[in-house]
Amino acid sequence: MTLRLFAAVYPPADVAGRVHVACAPLHDAAPTIRWEPPGRLHCTVRFYGAVEADGVAMIAAGLAEAARLFDPLPVEVRGLGAFPAWGRARVVWAGVRADPKFELLHHEIEVRAMALGFEVEGRVFRPHLTLARVPADVELPVRRAIREAARGVRVRERFTVDEVVLMSSTAGPTGTRHEAVARAPLGRH
């Protein structure tokens, strides 16, 4: 059996709910795009891709090793953006500004993934909460409407990262389902 895995951090439910409410003008501007519900807002720390089930324990152990090296980390959700740019948006996001140790945590997770044979991701770590994925066939006026709506939205929330969660992602007819596979608390427990 193969699982599609990624490691992520999740804001608390109340923070995710407030971010979701603050972004309501974006949802209203482009209601045909599938916006992430509050419970699915997360910051991906490492994408592993397809992994055989017998490799999950090794990945979970590596995450736990990396997480133990760090105390809980303060982060701030602030600002909106799009990858690669608003006019060609594929992903609409809320920015995550974190303690510099968050990047070190990402690095430690990356080192352990490489030790297991995973390729280096090869891009700068830009932490963010994905608000929506924009299909390629969405027309330019809709993309512009999202950008215009974003200009009036102010997002500013704080929370503490206290664990990294190994998630499995399964595509289905009603969308993608995410399920926690393992949890790696930050700090020495």
Length of the chain: 189
| Catalytically annotated residue among 20, 42, 106, 178 | 42
Strands, E assignment, 84-155: 91-98, 128-133
| Catalytically annotated residue among 20, 27, 106, 128 | 128
- Helix (H) / strand (E) element for 156: namely strand 156-161
The amino acid that residue 127 corresponds to is P
189 flagged as catalytic: no
Count Cβ atoms below 10 Å from residue 137 Cβ, excluding itself: 5
What are the φ/ψ torsions at residue 21 (nearest 5 degrees)? -65, -45
Active site residues: 42, 128
